[in-house]
Amino acid sequence: MDVILMKPVEGLGAEGDVVRVADGYARNFLIPKGFAEALTPAAKRRAERLKAARAAEQAERETAARELAQRIEGTSVTIAARAGEGGKLFGAVTNAQIAEALRRQGIEVDRHLIELERPIHELGTWRATVRPAPGVEATLKVWVVEEK
């Protein structure tokens, strides 16, 4: 049976996809739970509208991610941390601290999008990569200075 997915179903497809499934699976699970509708001309038009809306939303998210990456690219943040002899930090600089430093500069970034090559345990200049979307990344410079 051909059905149109009204909600994403893991392992089957995304909202608006037309998929072929077993009759029993469609009648006993997908349709009663509201995950799918039988393929009719009206349902097909509704699915096309859903796909168009999803594509527009995805394009908007990608544009926003590229704009964020442009704002971040070449930016530098300074983080003050307590250090001992030889510039070794008491602890480490985390991606949450970097996100907070960016927030103070007016750039909102989720800490989970910030990646470090390795933990920062010393004073100095480091690089962090921000990946706001798949295929979109920006590099920022992190200055770790001794707290006074």
Q: Is residue 130 a contact partner of residue 109, using CB atoms and an 8 Å limit?
A: yes
**Co-location of 79 and 140 in the same domain:** yes
Instruction: Kindly tell me if the per-residue pLDDT of 67 is higher than 90.
Output: yes
pLDDT digits (tens, 9 = 90+) for 75-114: 999 999 999 988 899 999 999 999 999 999 999 999 999 9
**Co-location of 132 and 89 in the same domain:** yes
Q: Is residue 136 a contact partner of residue 62, using CB atoms and an 8 Å limit?
A: yes
**Co-location of 91 and 121 in the same domain:** yes
**Co-location of 57 and 38 in the same domain:** yes
User: Which CATH number is 26's domain given?
Assistant: 3.40.5.10
Considering the entire predicted model, what is its pTM?
0.70
* Collapsed DSSP state (helix, strand, coil) of residue 57: helix
Rounded distance between C-alpha atoms, residue 148 and residue 145, angstroms: 9
Tokens of 125: 């200049």
Residue 69 host element (H or E): helix 41-72
Final residue before a domain boundary, out of 38, 68, 98: 68
Final residue before a domain boundary, out of 47, 68, 89: 68
Domain count, the chain: 2
Provide the residue range defining the domain that includes 25: 2-68
29-45 average pLDDT score: 91
Rounded distance between C-alpha atoms, residue 63 and residue 71, angstroms: 13
